[in-house]
Amino acid sequence: MAFEQKNDDFILSPNKFKKEDKHPAYTGTIMLDGVKYRLAAWIKKGEDGVAFFTGKKSEMKAEHQEQADDPLNPTTPSQEPQIMMPALEPDDLPF
DSSP 50-91: -EEEEEEEEEPPHHHHHHHTSTTS-S-TT---S-PPPPPPGG
Domain contains 84: no
Give the pLDDT score at 77: 42
HSE at residue 57, side-chain half, CA atoms within 13 A, is 10
The parent domain of residue 36 ranges over 1-60
Domain contains 41: yes
Domain contains 10: yes
Domain contains 1: yes
Radius of gyration of the chain (CA): 14
Q: How confident is the model over 15-35, as pLDDT tens digits?
A: 999 999 999 999 999 999 999
pLDDT: which is higher, 39 or 92: 39
Domain contains 77: no
Give the pLDDT score at 4: 86
What pTM was computed for the model?
Answer: 0.62
Counting the structural domains of the chain, the total is 1
Domain contains 73: no
- Nearest CA to 68 out of 26, 37, 40 is that of 37
Mean pLDDT of the chain: 79
Proportion of the chain in helix, strand, coil states, percent, rounded to 5: 10, 35, 55
* Whether residue 79 has pLDDT greater than 70: no
Domain contains 42: yes
